[in-house]
Structure 1
Amino acid sequence: MTPRRTAVLMVTAAVLLNVAFTGLGSVFDYPDVLEQPAEDVLASFRESQAAVSAWFLTLALAAALLAPVAVGVGRLSAARPMRWAVPIGIAAAVVQVVGLLRWPLLVPGWAATAAGSDPDAAADARSAFGTANRVLGDLVGETGGYLLTAAWTLLVLAALGSGFAGRWFLALGSVSAALVLAGVLSPLDLPLVDTANFAGYVLWSLWLVLFAAVLVLRQRRRASVPVSPATADVRS
């Protein structure tokens, strides 16, 4: 994982995250659709099943990329916070992927059963869907994802400090992490929490892209530094 490869993965993750979220909003009214009864959500899913499943797979891929990004970023510093950041970043990727994959893997079966002629089976499917949303969605994917993503970001900032890219790097990362973390309050239905969480992920994506740009620029500066004859002799 060179800095350049890490930067590419950062940009790819940020782009996929925003494109997938936009796509889900346009074809599935996500995440507002989750406020509807399970029967209506499953019916909406079934109407655009292929597109919705594809967008959730894209979103899961964006989340999964945080694991190699965490490994690559972990090589930027040997500080104690960075040693914690690597496994926490990998864990953030895992819990989000687990939560998101319920849509392409489990929901199609429940949606088909809920639309069937057997009322008991349909009720069981709606119940299973609701349980999966609470456990895999709200608890694992969202709450776990918010906590671990915010923790990874703050640990990286603590390890790299302002000397890495300046105070703006710390400020943008800290604000985005705080807003992402606000998402854990979403089940309380507090005003503006969901808006703050959404804004946090937008800012976090921007921070990730700028982080990638800094990595590339730092690598180019190192490559442009002339090698002294003595150093060249030692390397040869």
Structure 2
Amino acid sequence: MNRRLTAVLLVAAAVLTNVAFTALGTIFNYPDVLKEPVGDVLAAFRASRTAVAAWFAVMAFSAALFAPIAVGVGRLSTRRVMRLAVPVGVAAAVAQVAGLLRWPLLVPGYAAGAASADPAVAAAARDSFATAHLILGNVVGETLGYLLTSAWTLLVLAALGRVIAGRWFTALGAVSALLILAGVLSPLDLPAIDMANFAGYVLWSVWLVAFAVLLVRRTRTPASPPPVSPAVTVN
């Protein structure tokens, strides 16, 4: 994990996440669809099952990239706070992957079951989806994911200080982290919270790309030659 590879992964994660999110918003009305009754959510999933599952898989892959990203970024500083940031970043990746993979792995079965002619089977499928959505989605993928992602970002900023860039870089990362953290209040169903969380991820994507650019620029900057000692004349 050198700086160039870390930069590539930062950009890839930001781009893939936003492309997948946009695609899911177009074909699945995500995330607004999650506010609909369970039966309607599963019906919408069945209508575009292959595409929806595929794009959630892409989003899960982009989330998984943060495990190696955390390791690569961790090599930028030897400070104790950075040593803490590495496992926090890996944990954030695991939490988000666990939450997102329910869509391609579990939801197809729930969607099929919910369409069963047997009322008992259909009801059981809807209940299973609701349980998975609560535990893997709301608790693990969202609440824990928001918390760990925000924590990783703030820890990285604390560890790097102004080594990478000036105050703008720190401010952008900190603001995006705090807005993402606001997502833990999403169960309160406050429109402002969801908007703040969305804005946080948009700003965070910009921060990730800026981080990557700064890493590449630092990699290309040649090291300054050591100062030449003045010649000493012996009489």
Give the TM-score normalised by the residue count of structure 2.
0.95
Query: Does the Cα contact within 8 Å between 2:70 and 2:85 map onto a contact in 1?
Result: yes
Q: How far off is 1:226 after superposition? A: 5.4
> How far apart are 1:80 and its partner, in Å?
1.1
Check whether the contact 2:64–2:93 (CA below 8 A) recurs between aligned residues: yes
Distance 2:80 2:187 in 1: 33
**CA shift for structure 1 position 16:** 0.3
Q: Which residue of 1 aligns with 2:76?
A: 76
Partners of 2:226 and 2:91 lie apart in 1 by 40
Alignment match, 2:190:
190
1:14 maps to what in 2?
Answer: 14
Q: What one-letter code is carried by the residue in structure 2 that aligns with 1:216? A: V
Aligned length: 228
- CA displacement 1:90-149 (0-9 Å, x = unmatched): 000000000000000000011011111111000000000000010000000000100000
CA deviation after TM superposition for structure 1 residue 216, in Å: 0.3
Match for residue 58 of structure 1? 58
Question: What letter corresponds to residue 171 of structure 1 in structure 2?
Answer: A
Aligned partner of 1:29 in structure 2 is 29
Structure 2 match to 1:175: 175
User: Partners of 1:197 and 1:57 in 2: how far apart?
Assistant: 22
Partner of residue 150, structure 2: 150
Distance of 1:128 and 1:163 partners within structure 2 = 48
Structure 1: unaligned runs, 5 residues or longer: 230-236
Q: How far did 1:163 drift?
A: 3.3
Residue 27 of structure 2 aligns with an amino acid whose one-letter code is V
CA drift of 1:228 comes to 9.1
Higher alpha-carbon Rg: 2
- The corresponding residue for 1:115 is 115
Q: CA deviation at 1:225?
A: 4.4
Contact 2:6 2:212 in 1 (8 A): yes
Greater share of helix residues, 1 or 2? 1
TM-score, normalised with respect to structure 1: 0.94
Question: What residue identity is the alignment partner of 1:57?
Answer: A
RMSD: 1.3
Match of 2:213 in 1: 213
Q: Secondary structure at the match of 2:76?
A: coil
Say whether residues 1:139 and 2:139 are aligned partners: yes
The runs of 4+ residues in structure 1 deviating greater than 4 Å are 224-229
- CA distance in 2 between counterparts of 1:76 and 1:162 reads 12
Please show how residues 37-52 of structure 1 align to structure 2 within 5 Å. 37-52=37-52
2: CA distance between counterparts of 1:48 and 1:104? 12
SS at match of 1:162: coil
- 2:227 and 2:23 map into 1 onto residues whose CA distance is 53
Find the aligned partners of 2:164 and 2:22 in 1 and give their Cα distance.
32
Same amino acid, percent of matched pairs: 68
- The alpha carbon displacement at 1:25 in A equals 0.1
CA distance in 1, matches of 2:140, 2:199: 21
In the alignment, what sits opposite 1:204? 204
Distance 1:227 1:117 in 2: 79
Residue of structure 2 equivalent to 1:130: 130
Deviations 1:177-225 (A, max 9, x none): 0000000000011231000000000000100000000000001003x64
Contact 2:110 2:125 in 1 (8 A): yes
CA distance in 1, matches of 2:191, 2:201: 18
User: 1:96 matched to which residue of 2?
Assistant: 96
